[in-house]
Amino acid sequence: MGSGGLSAVATLRFEPAVRVRRLARAEEGDSAALALSASYRGERTISISFGALESVRQGPATRVVREACWLLKPWGREGRIELRALRRPTRRTLLEWLEDVDDVTVMAAARRKLVLLPAPDDRERAESTLSPTRRKMLRLADRDGEHCVWCSTYLTYESIHCTLDHIRCRSHGGADALDNLVLACAACNHGRADAPASSWLDACLTAGQDVDVDSVLRAIARSHAHHGRALRRAA
Ligand SMILES: [Zn+2]
């Protein structure tokens, strides 16, 4: 199905349609949101028809849209919400609300229909565009700080000299998992080569480097536990 697949037949086949008859009270917003989540089967587009509804209050209506956004999260920027059969007061209420929120954007607005894009937050958007390696670097910087654990040189996932350093070297069966990785600058990573992490820690300290000792010790413990689990699974 292409992006233009919004004909009536495709809509019926492809999308869960929730018909909202009354949305006056807060509880009715809740029950419509529940009906939506019960009918949702993982589709990319959620279509909500307001039927013969003359007007809605903002709270109950936005609750349903919020539920739709939440359900569509796995689709990221591909998710779509179509609000159909909108009378003017309903359309106006929804547009007023949409002006105030920055995580839902209006992709298209017709007289009786709005198409919304539930924009993931900036962080999710940034992560979704990264290569697996850069995504790991981002997570490691969150965990241990934005620096080389061996010399404290400032690094982010975007730095040219940022590398993934395996606590247990790959040549010794070390995994590519976060539990076996730290951020290191290219110089430290090459300097260490295949040296065990604990002896390289000693060497760095002896050389008077500004080592992030806490992060290194935690990483060694984590890597050790990870390797133990892997061995037990293999046994
Ligand atoms: Zn370094």
Say if CB 103 and CB 90 are below 8 A apart.
Answer: no
Q: Tell me, in angstroms, the distance from the centre of ligand 1 to residue 216's CA.
A: 12
Pairing of strands 162-166, 181-185: antiparallel
At residue 164, does pLDDT exceed 60? yes
Report pLDDT digits (tens) over 51-97: 777 778 888 888 889 989 988 888 877 888 999 888 899 899 999 99
Please give the radius of gyration of the chain, using alpha carbons only, rounded to the nearest integer.
26
Report pLDDT digits (tens) over 120-151: 666 666 677 788 899 999 999 989 999 999 99
* pTM listed for this prediction: 0.52
What domains are there in the chain, each with its CATH number? 8-122 (3.30.750), 130-234 (no CATH)
Alpha helices in the chain (DSSP H): 8-14, 26-39, 58-72, 88-100, 122-128, 132-144, 186-192, 197-206, 213-234
Q: Tell me, in angstroms, the distance from the centre of ligand 1 to residue 28's CA.
A: 58
Report pLDDT digits (tens) over 7-61: 222 232 334 566 666 676 777 788 888 888 888 888 888 888 887 777 788 888 8
Q: Tell me, in angstroms, the distance from the centre of ligand 1 to residue 199's CA.
A: 16
Residue 17's nearest CA partner among 56, 63, 49, 62 is: 49
Neighbours of ion ligand 1 (CB under 5 A): 148, 150-151, 153, 185, 188
Question: How far from 90 is each of 53, 67, 120, 212, CA to CA, in Å?
Answer: 8, 18, 25, 57
Say if CB 118 and CB 104 are below 8 A apart.
Answer: yes
